[in-house]
Amino acid sequence: MTDRPNVSGSLRNRLALTLIGGAALLAILLFFAVRNYAVQVAQQGQDNILVASVTSMLDAAAIRDGTVEVDIPYAAFSMLTTSADDRVFYSVFQDGNLLSGYGDLSLANDTFGGNKTFQTNKVRGATVRQISASRTLIGANKRTEIQIALAQTQDALSETLDQISRNAALLGIGFFALTAALSFWATSSTMGQLNKLTTSVTRRGPQDLSPFKKPVPREMAPLVNSLNSLMGRLDHSLGQSEDFIAEAAHRVRTPLATVRSYAEATLQRVDKEENREAMRSMVRAIDESSRAAGQLLDHAMITFRADHLEREEIDLVELVRDLVLRLTPIAEMKDLTLAVYGDEQVRYAGDPILIQSAVRNLVDNAMKYGPADSEIDISVTANPRPEIKVCDNGPGFPTQEIDTLATRFKRGKNAEDTIGSGLGLTIVQDVATAHGGSIKLTNQREGGACVTFSL
Amino acid sequence: MRYILALAISMFAFAVAAQDWEDRQVFNQGASNSPLRIISSTDTDLFAPILQSFVARNPSISIEYLVTGTADIDRRFRANPEAFDIAISSAMDLQLKLANDGFARSLQEVSHPAWAQWRQSLFAFTSEPAAIVINKAAFAGHPIPKSRQDLIEALRARPDVFRDRVGTYDVRQSGLGYLFATQDARASETFWRLMEVMGSLNVRLYCCSGDMIDDLTDGTIAVAYNVLGSYAAARVESQSALEIVLPSDFPTTMMRTAFVSEETTKPEVAETFIQHLVAQQSNTNGEKQLLPSLDVPGNGRERATIALEPALMTFLDRLKRTKFLAEWEDALIQE
């Protein structure tokens, strides 16, 4: 009855993914920003100490008795002590010639005139931070440039950076976890509004096509608006159909009944045999039209009502007896007897109008095919399922078509000379399906057809 | 002139001796493997208990123990770092510079407090103060000096008694002597005044603690300055004649250090040995030790123990050393 909607993607997943993806991106950015900043700060710290150390060394340079002395202060290297015991390399040059220190540590290119240059180098297989600095010494009769290269490994620095990286990573992960939790919460609270709307649509009664009045978030207002307008139109067109059906039934049946009564009356007055025959044909044709119109209307009504099944507690036996009472005059016209058997009372919750029309169609069919002076048996039983069985003494169903007979506008092969639109069994079938039941067509051994209508 | 001659002779003797060792012993000779080569400045008899307990625990390992001076260790090791597995020396500055220059191997399995190791490659295992060692006979009837200032006054008071009878390290030859002298000079001006007094008394200069204690024991000299007290204390026969004074003004305490050569062919065995060494020396309540154990620098004594830090390289700078030796010679050697 309801088609599964064409689902493509999930709004919740898309929202959660976007939020979590954004959070992950931000966390990674945060991590790198913090780490980058820490690298700068830590490097700045090491550079400052190197500057202080090299400055104290340069300050200790002096010309005495015409020779250069560099009396390196104990503190110059002492201040380079780190927790990771970083290695220290240095070299002292005078005008580019090595005076003392490590020969494999060379100056930066532009070390003159008080320049200080930082480099990251490799010395003896270790990565070092190197500063090259110089100082001009002025003696009695000469001018000379003292240049010092000082390098320190970066073990303590990388230890610090590792620690900061760990902390930054923890910060990033914490930030991400918090944001992820928040996005889950945000997603489900947003989706909650949609779910609420869905629930209130689902919970509505079949006849309830009134507009939604509960407050919804602004973004959902267009959806609710179009839903409301759709239901409005639906309500309107359903009302129109119902009116049309009632109108059509009235407009078609009443004039036909009038015409028929006129024809009957005329038949009484006409004496000429050929005219009487013509009048009888006319009455038969009118009956056929009236019946077809009735069945069409029945069917339309069933289609409409079956979509919005309204169940109420009824007694099937009482319903059948009522119907038999109403149909007895027609049966007597054909010299048929209607007999009701079965249980005293069969309680069932169903749509009485639909069930009535189904049973009427069954009895109608039976009266159509049943030969004169025969009996039509209607039995109503409660166990194992509520069941109404109608049997006649007619020719029975053609065995090869027994399965396809209940399709719309199809009639049995042997029915060509009988009035009918082919809708009868279809109506019965539809009513049974709407109530979750079924019909079964069988032939009696001694002749005659049986239809079992079970609910 | 005499000084130049003495220096020339000593340099010559040094050069000849360089091919040789002060001592050379193999422990656990029976083991088939090639021996663990240890180059050390510590006398064999002081170090033997540690070596013996090590080979007792590791019977498959033999040890070749080579003894030479601290400066010589530095020279030989730099020339042939692959020839030795472990270097042990009392010259902390030279050892630290070897480690700084990349000759020492980093040992991750040795756990040692931060103040007693450097870069997890240089490990200290003794605490030994520099002492003034006195022949009691020379101070009979006179108070024993307790500080450098006392010593200066005592020497000045009786120059005739002490002329030619004071001794100290020749810092030009001895790495440990140079370390003690430079640390003393950093600590106080008293050092230079003491050197001047000693110089005026025609000081005798020694390459090694052992020789100094020999001369002190037989009365050739009456006072030795900056000797390792542990060496004096280890001489049972000297103990009655000698008095070991730890200067009360500022004691200078050295830590003997060991490291494994970066180019060793037996890194696991060498590391095991270092573990054994630091464990033996930290465990003070065991059997009697000949070498002093490693003492945690206590309150108020931080200045006393020379710290393992890059600053030790300061006085090894060529210019700085030249300057210091010039001052030292000016003070001590008087023509």
Q: What is the CATH number of the domain that holds A359?
A: 3.30.565.10
Question: Could you identify the residue written with the tokens 């060529």?
Answer: B318
Do A315 and A263 reside in the same domain of the chain? no
Which of the residues in chain B have pLDDT under 50?
Answer: 1, 12-18, 301-303
Q: Is residue B116 within 8 Å of B294, Cβ to Cβ?
A: yes
Domain boundary assignment for chain B: 2-126+255-296, 128-253+313-332
Please provide the DSSP assignment of A124-171 as one string: TTEEEEEEEEEEEEE-SS-EEEEEEEEEEE-HHHHHHHHHHHHHHHHH
The residue among B179, B182, B313, B323 with the most chain A CBs within 10 A of its CB, best to mutate, is B313
Residues of A in contact with B119 (CB under 8 A): 84-85, 87
Interchain CB contact of B324 with A (< 8 Å): no
Full residue range of the structural domain in which residue A261 is found:
207-308
The answer to whether the CB of B93 falls within 8 A of the CB of B77 is no
Q: In terms of CATH, what superfamily is B2-126+255-296?
A: Periplasmic binding protein-like II (3.40.190.10)
What pLDDT score was predicted for residue B16? Answer: 44
* Contact with chain B for residue A50, Cβ under 8 A: no
Q: Which of A308, A339, A366 is the last residue of a domain?
A: A308
- Predicted confidence pLDDT, tens digits, chain A (455 residues): 456 778 888 888 888 888 889 889 999 999 999 989 988 999 999 999 999 999 999 999 999 888 888 999 999 999 999 999 999 999 999 998 999 999 989 888 887 777 899 999 999 889 999 999 999 998 887 889 999 999 999 999 999 889 989 999 998 999 999 988 988 898 888 888 888 888 888 887 666 778 888 888 888 889 889 988 998 898 888 778 777 776 776 777 788 888 888 888 888 888 888 888 888 888 888 887 887 777 777 777 777 777 667 788 888 888 888 888 888 887 887 788 888 888 888 888 888 888 888 888 888 888 878 787 888 888 888 888 888 888 888 887 777 777 676 654 455 555 545 545 567 777 888 888 888 888 888 888 777 888 888 87
Cα distance between residue B111 and residue B104, in whole Å: 16
> Are A252 and A325 part of one and the same domain?
no
Please tell me the total count of domains within chain A.
3
SS3 call for B191: helix
Q: Are residues A220 and A341 in the same domain?
A: no
Of A84, A87, A100, the CB nearest to B319: A100
Instruction: Please check whether residue B108 touches A, CB under 8 A.
Output: no
* A139 and A279 housed in the same domain: no
Contact A77 B323 (CB under 8 A): no
pTM score: 0.69
Name the CATH architecture for the domain at B128-253+313-332: 3-Layer(aba) Sandwich (3.40)
Structural domain ending residue among the three candidates A162, A193, A228? A162
pLDDT of residue A206: 63
Interchain pair B317, A78: CB under 8 A: no
Residue A173 lies in a domain: no
Return residues 56-95 of A near B (CB < 8 Å): 69-78, 80-81, 83-89, 92
For residue B251, say if its preceding peptide bond is cis, omega within 30 degrees of 0. Answer: no
Same domain, A45 and A155: yes
Residues 126-155, chain A, touching B (beta carbon < 8 A): 126
CB contact under 8 A, A74 and B311: yes
| Same domain assignment for residues A300 and A344 | no
Instruction: Establish if A168 belongs to a structural domain.
Output: no
Q: Are residues A155 and A242 in the same domain?
A: no
Query: Cβ neighbours of residue A385 under 8 Å, at least 6 residues apart?
Result: A437, A454, A455
Cα–Cα distance measured from residue B126 to residue A124, given in angstroms and rounded to the nearest whole number: 30
> Do A304 and A391 fall within a single domain?
no
pLDDT at B14: 47
A138, two tokens: 């002025």
Tell whether A108 and A244 lie within a shared domain: no
* A contact test, residue of B183, B309, B312, B325 with most A CBs within 10 A: B309
CB contacts, 8 Å: A71 with chain B: 319-320, 323
Sign, CA dihedral A37-A43-A47-A49, equals: positive
B311 and A78: CB-CB below 8 Å? yes
Domain at A284, CATH number: 1.10.287
Chain B hits for A81, CB-CB cut-off 8 Å, are 309-311
Query: Could you tell me if residue A185 is inside a domain?
Result: no
Strand-pairing partners, residue A138, are A143
Distance from CA of A140 to the nearest CA of B (A): 21
Q: Smallest Cα–Cα separation from B239: which of B219, B217, B220?
A: B217
> B314–A76: do the CB atoms touch at under 8 Å?
yes
3-state secondary structure of A62: strand
SS3 state at B202: coil
Task: Give the DSSP letter of residue A405.
Answer: T
- Tell me what pLDDT residue A74 has: 93
**B2-126+255-296 and B128-253+313-332: identical CATH topology:** yes
Cβ atoms of B36 and B266 within 8 Å: the answer is yes
**A174 in a structural domain:** no
Question: Where among A267, A285, A308 does a domain terminate?
Answer: A308
B310 in contact with A at a CB cutoff of 8 Å? Answer: yes
Is the ipTM above a cut-off of 0.90? no
- Taking an 8 Å cut-off on Cβ atoms, the answer to whether A73 and B314 are in contact is yes
Residues A290, A332: one domain? no
Say which of B114, B120, B319 has its CB closest to residue A69.
B319
The 8-class DSSP code of residue A272 comes to: S
Q: How far apart are CA A371 and CA A336, in angstroms?
A: 8
* CA-derived radius of gyration, chain A: 51
Nearest to A422 by CA among A435, A399, A404: A404
